[in-house]
Amino acid sequence: MTATPSVLVTGASAGIGAAYAKRFARRGHSLVLVARNTARMEALANRLRGETGVAIDIIRADLADAGERAAVEARLRDDARIGILVNNAGASLAGTFVEQSTDDIDRLVTLNTTALVRLVHAIAPRLARAGEGAIINIGSVVGLAPELGMPVYGATKAFVLHLSHALNLQLGPQGVYVQAVLPSATRTEFWGHAGIDVDTLTGVMAVDDLVDAALVGFDRREPVTIPPFHDAGQWAAFEAARQAMIPGFAQSQPADRYLADA
């Protein structure tokens, strides 16, 4: 791996992905941009080449399509220059669960979970062998809050959080850092695709503020970064409570409250 590794960013044509591309380019990293919209990626790449002088490649791919995704997986496996993966591509759906079609749900789950974990698996063995590298997975606070009413989307983001946290524990000793970033409402095109007018929401964060904060967490090597969450003590308490429960899971007998009355 080079001293300044290349960064592959998915969902790089707009929003959070484009902001990550800008920030890493300004840090001197060459880029591989992945998204469906080639014109937007070319415009971004041309601008960043002019501003920073870094090398930028573009891969046009729909990551929900196994055939198109294969080229990205191969690039992550084979290109030793890529030392950082930003797994940002994702989507949500309009409507309630019963209103959403099973085909749309299947595509959402494929993009938000299957594609993400396959890209992680494409690069992780190589990074572990090299003893260095980083993976940034973009989750969501919705993955912590079923009450927010996005069942399938939230479930996929809970998957991202668990995967990231577990892999950071497993790969960290081998020199590979895995960060889960959990945005809340962020001003991107995501909301329009989900059938929601972002201007009707409160507490919406600017995308540049979100990514700048996430990169502070990245530089600090936080396993989980939640840019909108101000009370870090609550997260520490949540983590402590969760970890305190783990010893209680290994029991040969059901808890007393589940035993039939004598």
| Catalytic residue numbers, as ranges | 153
Q: What are phi and psi of 60, to 5 degrees?
A: -85, 120
| Beta pairing class for 133-138 and 224-225 | unpaired
The CA distance from 45 to 54, in Å, is 9
Confirm if 193 and 92 have CB atoms less than 8 A apart. Answer: yes
Q: Could you count the other beta carbons within 10 Å of the beta carbon of residue 191?
A: 18
The CA distance from 18 to 150, in Å, is 25
Helices (H), the chain: 15-26, 38-52, 66-78, 102-109, 116-130, 151-171, 190-193, 207-219, 232-245
The label of the residue with tokens 């063995």 reads 125
Burial 88-125 (b: 16+ CB within 10 A, else e): bbbbbbeeeeeebeeeeeebbbbbbbbbbbbbbebbbe
Confirm if 13 and 34 have CB atoms less than 8 A apart. Answer: no
CA-closest candidate to residue 79, choices 10, 29, 7 = 7
CA-closest candidate to residue 205, choices 189, 227, 234 = 227
